Amino acid sequence: MRASWQERFAETSDVLKSSQHQQTVVRVLDLEIGGSQFITMAGPCSVETEQQILSIAHHVRAQGAQVLRGGAFKPRSSPYAFQGLGLEGLKLLAKARSETGLAIVTEVMSEDDVSLVAEYADILQIGSRSMENFTLIDAAARSGRPLLLKRGMMATVDDLLRSAQIALTAGNANVILCERGIRTFDSTLRNTFDPAAIALLKHISHLPVIADPSHACGHRELVPALARIGVAAGADGMIVEVHPQPEQAWSDGEQSLTFAEFDEMMTMLKPYIRHRAAAVGNLLETVG
């Protein structure tokens, strides 16, 4: 990495690549996030019922997903919208892990809830609205669980790296960065996907980077194309929303893939993922 990048992001030097530290690999259960394997995290926006979350977990597992996502605590734009099942949702996620072997990622919204969520989840998600809640990030980092840090809706790459620096300063090196789209002047889609940020982060930072095509566009028919772009940009994985009946989902149904759409996307991505694995393997050999 050129000295100019080191100077540009000097405030967050711990998250930058160095000659001694080229890549962090986050280990979760039997997974390695940030290595040669492309990691798929899939599941519903919200945990709704036992039947719903178990059916999704078994289906995405069969199609190659390694991590189950699902919201137990939901930060919603409207105070009148469904806010999540809370502890009941966490218990249902744990049951899904027990049945399928999938690791669990779910959002923690308050520092008061960190110990509770960490008891059930394998990865703690810091959502886009909480990316600059440094007290929450510090508390979550000190739980010892890996963090999935989503880029804020109006955050720069600088801002995202500063938040990651908070976690590393708290003693937790297991941070996964997530590009999930940002707000721009274009209001056509829910957000504007920024694959250039993925490419930049992979170039300058040793932390794993994943793409969130679901929140990046807000429309399920565009999710596969954005997922493909994320792989091509160098992402280490993706997190997508899946629901058996999106039109009946309690939240974010419009961007949730049906089972058939998820299956088709996973099949479509295989050659791109194989190409990525070969490129990463060659890079690791060069670094080694």
Q: Which domains are assigned to the chain?
A: 14-182+189-287 (3.20.20.70)
Q: Is the pLDDT of residue 77 over 90?
A: no
pLDDT tens-place string over residues 210-252: 999 999 999 999 999 999 999 999 999 999 999 999 999 998 8
Residue scoring higher pLDDT (20 or 69): 69
Residue 44 · residue 56 · CB < 8 Å? yes
Q: Closest Cα partner for 91 from 76, 70, 111?
A: 70
Q: pLDDT tier at 79 (50, 70, 90 boundaries)?
A: low
| Rounded CA separation 205/208 (Å) | 8
Q: Is the pLDDT of residue 281 over 90?
A: no
What residues contact 166, with CB distance under 8 A and at least 6 apart?
Answer: 134, 137, 138, 141
> So what's the pLDDT on residue 6?
86
Q: Is the pLDDT of residue 140 over 60?
A: yes
For range 177-187, the mean pLDDT: 95
Q: Closest Cα partner for 66 from 36, 91, 100?
A: 100
pLDDT tens-place string over residues 46-56: 999 999 999 99
> So what's the pLDDT on residue 5?
87
> So what's the pLDDT on residue 10?
87
Q: Closest Cα partner for 128 from 157, 161, 153?
A: 153
For range 71-93, the mean pLDDT: 79
What residues contact 200, with CB distance under 8 A and at least 6 apart?
Answer: 157
For range 171-180, the mean pLDDT: 98
Residue scoring higher pLDDT (285 or 67): 67
> So what's the pLDDT on residue 284?
55
> So what's the pLDDT on residue 277?
85
> So what's the pLDDT on residue 283?
61
Record the pTM: 0.94
For range 119-125, the mean pLDDT: 98
CA 141 to each of CA 33, 47, 105: distance values in angstroms, whole numbers, following the listed order: 17, 24, 14
> So what's the pLDDT on residue 228?
97
Neighbouring C-beta atoms of residue 43, cutoff 10 Å: 30
Residue 93 · residue 68 · CB < 8 Å? yes
